[in-house]
Amino acid sequence: MDKLKVSLVSLGCPKNLVDSEVMLGHLPLDRYEIVLDESQADIIIVNTCAFINDAKEESVDTILEVSDYKEQGHCKLLVVAGCLPQRYQGVLKDQLPEVDLFIGTSEGPRIVELIEQQLQNQTPAEKVGSPDYLYDHQTPRVNSSPTYSSYVKIAEGCSNHCSYCIIPQLRGKLRSRSIGSVVAETETLAAQGVTEIILIAQDITDYGADRNDGATLEKLLKELVKIDKLVWIRLLYAYPDGVTDELIELIATEEKICNYLDLPLQHIDDHLLTRMNRHLDEGQTRELVQKLRNRIPDLTLRTSFIVGFPGETNEQFNKLLKFVEEGHFERVGVFRYSREEGTVAAKLPDQIPARTKTSRLNKLMKAQARVSFNKNRALVGCTEQVLVEGFSDETDLLLKGRSARQAPDIDGQYLITSGIADVGEYVQLQITDSSEYDLIGEIVEH
């Protein structure tokens, strides 16, 4: 019997990407073949995001787009997985009749069973259980990232209950893996040639808080740095109130831990932070940022802010704008507040008009663009270690790469104008020029 060809479209964040890789890992290779071209696929899986309105719209648009392959391609079965079915269970079958099977955030490991059931049953089905799954080092997984880099999800779910956030309802409460499990997975990846590990969770600083074995992020890092073949360990999504002095010291002193921290702050005004159910005020935030800068002078700080949160006044926004203009951050992401049903903030009065949110977002991004340009310009003349990732997307005449300052896909890149190196190789690069987000340089040694 011919193998069934499966194509998977993964939307949303890297945490979702890991879920997609786990789903693919459960497909037995003697019966299924993974293909990249949806037009050639017998089965198309769309792993969705439903965090905010923009993500929901992207998910629905993608579902409708790939559904055309049921008429124009080979598709026999369209599966929609992840956060959208988890959030809107019982509703989507009527709204998206093109879809044959909806599965929730914890049903990925059952993907083969559910697919085979559905191939025998022509009636659209929905399988959405409690969000309680947690993969481990023994879980089969197909790494879709480049061979030299991989995400490792150290925990699932979240227990922070920020007032604007739907994640606890989609992903459940915090569930941390054991230190031994994370180390075992990382050792396997390193043995396969992975040299950059990116630790992810909704809040990596909360890692271990739900366990009774003393696991903490700091203890985990002390074990991971012992893995010989690793070059970089990168930390994403560290809530500011969980950044300890011990963590700061580890980043400062351990060569393998990138001097890079994604520190979502969301705002700087105390009244709004309280309404968001965030746990640091302005004074504590400034103290933390200064502590990080003093101990790790070359730290790259990424943060995110929400504009247009209910009740945000012009004065409060201007306070945030001034904070950004002070130049504390190398990277800033800005989100328009999205009113999500089922959250505390959705019921708050004084909702902000969409036009005002967009205007504030644009002002904040322009301010950060000036900061980023100046920070990049200050690096010209320096030499940095860069991971070569292949040819530039714009021309085969240039190589591209990333330094420890840059996470994949979100932080810009280096364009390499002189020198030759292989993909996955680390080189020393002298920076010769810069723009708002990218840097340009020449290889000076391997």
For Cα atoms 433, 255, 421, give the angle at the middle one, nearest 5 degrees. 45
**How far is it, in rounded angstroms, from Cα 321 to Cα 393?**
33
φ/ψ of 182, rounded to 5, equals -65, -45
The response to whether 165 counts as a known ligand-binding position is: yes
The response to whether 158 counts as a known ligand-binding position is: yes
**How far is it, in rounded angstroms, from Cα 263 to Cα 237?**
6
**How far is it, in rounded angstroms, from Cα 313 to Cα 84?**
32
Q: What's the CA dihedral at 171, 175, 179, 182 to 10 degrees?
A: -20
φ/ψ of 441, rounded to 5, equals -160, 180
The answer to whether the CB of 82 falls within 8 A of the CB of 48 is: yes
The response to whether 83 counts as a known ligand-binding position is: yes
Strand stretches in 182-254, DSSP E: 196-200, 232-235
Residue 404's Cβ-count burial label (10 Å; 0-12, 13-18, 19+) is buried
- Write out the two tokens for 281: 């005020």
The response to whether 75 counts as a known ligand-binding position is: no
β pairing state of 196-200 and 175-176? unpaired
- Write out the two tokens for 352: 């902000």
The response to whether 13 counts as a known ligand-binding position is: yes
Q: Map tokens 């130049």 to a residue.
A: 327
Among 317, 205, 223, 308, residue whose Cα is nearest residue 264: 205
Other Cβ atoms closer than 10 A to 224: 23
- Give the residue numbers of the binding site: 13, 49, 83, 158, 162, 165
- Give the residue numbers of the binding site for [4Fe-4S] cluster: 13, 49, 83, 158, 162, 165
